Amino acid sequence: MEKVRVVSFVMIIIFSLPTFSSLVAAEWESDGWIKNLIGPDRLAIGDEFGCHGFENKDINEDLWIIEECKDYLLSNTNASRWGKDPISFGTPSGFINDKTSSELIDNGFKIIGDMVSNNPSGLFTVERNGGSIEKNIANISLIEESPKDSLVSVYWIARIHDLRVREDKQFMESLENNASIWFTTWGEWYNHKSSSNNIEITIDNSSVHVTLPIDYNNSWKVPGSIHIHSNKSIISVKDIEGNNYSVLSKNDQNLKNGWRQVESGIVATINPGETIVLEMQNLSNFSLISNPLYTFNDLHHSVTIVGHHVTNMREWASDFLESPILFTWLIERASEPNFNWPIIIIAIGTLIATPIAIKWLIVMDAKQIINYED
């Protein structure tokens, strides 16, 4: 009987261990499409890559995610053609506390969104004001009726759990054919506005010098734009070395440097560290009137589509590989299936041990019966 008790005790331990076994720390997947093919192609077009944390994790509770997400992104891509470091972070809906906002700022993030209920100091908050591109939900009127110089942020998610979401192709076509829109990203729009405010103008005899100083505190080097009001004839526009400066077309909808003449004067977009020289006729009585231009090329307003919770670039971007519309991709590192190897090993051991133990018990019972009869 003593041996039976021992075997029973061992069996109880075997079946109880899975219950008390500790969970294994989650592992995280890497999305190769960010680094290969899709990511580089969209980066070259002008898209921006920001962060959205780790799957099923809340940055308000796990601050370490902010830096880890940044490191993960930088191991796969630059954030933009204008700068290496990511500056946009997709934050949870609702209130962003002081600790979270401080951690974001410490890691170089400047922009958050897009369902935040407060405006944390030191961060620019983007509002989701353009609806979604999801089929049967997209609303083109939200785009067409937007105010002058506004940034319209449109929501996109390719998958909700196991459900594949489809974009509204008619909406996308209407957006691509809207010639009054500047296609941009969160970070590009934010920095272009800042650069536009920093442009300096001086008059020297028959020329106007337009300069955008370099902001050495900014890791992104984004052009700025200006509108110079004048009825004077333009003789030439050249860079500081005397080369003709690039000419913009009214059809240009992606940010680049250059200039073009409009009814009220000229609009110009210049790179940080550049000076352009405008030669104009008869500046003797010229009264300089200018203003920063917040929407590139004097277009009406700006639009970006924001990919949220991007765990797989192929799923999120494969339908937009050639689109002129620019996307702000908020990259989220996906979690791998959480295999608890101790439990698996114990289960296998249990499967092996159980029939052996039962057989041993039967043999012992048989011996006891024989001994009893003897």
DSSP string spanning 36-79? STHHHHHHHHT-EEEEEEETT--TTT-THHHHHHHHHHHTT--S
Q: Residue 160 to residues 52, 164, 289, 309, 313: CA-CA distances in angstroms?
A: 15, 7, 51, 10, 15
Per-residue model confidence (pLDDT) at position 360: 60
Residue pLDDT, tens place only, 177-210: 999 999 999 999 999 999 999 999 998 877 999 9
Which pLDDT value is given to residue 363? 66
**Comparing C-alpha atoms, which of 210, 208, 232, 212 is closest to residue 221?**
212
pLDDT of residue 9: 47
- pTM, to two decimals: 0.84
Q: Which residue stretches of the chain have pLDDT < 70?
A: 1-26, 337-351, 353-361, 363-374
What is the per-residue DSSP string for 12-34? Answer: HHHHHHHHHPPPPPP-B---HHH
- Output the six-digit token pair for 189: 């729009």
Tally of helices (H runs) and strands (E runs) in the chain: 10, 18
Instruction: Please tell me whether residue 345 adopts helix, strand or coil conformation.
Output: helix
Q: Which pLDDT belongs to residue 126?
A: 98
Q: What kind of fold does domain 195-298 have according to CATH?
A: Immunoglobulin-like (2.60.40)
Looking at residue 105, its pLDDT comes to: 98
Kindly report whether the peptide bond that precedes residue 114 is cis, defined as omega within 30 degrees of 0.
Answer: yes
From the centroid of its chain, how far is CA 20?
40
Alpha-carbon distance of 258 to 247, in angstroms, equals 5
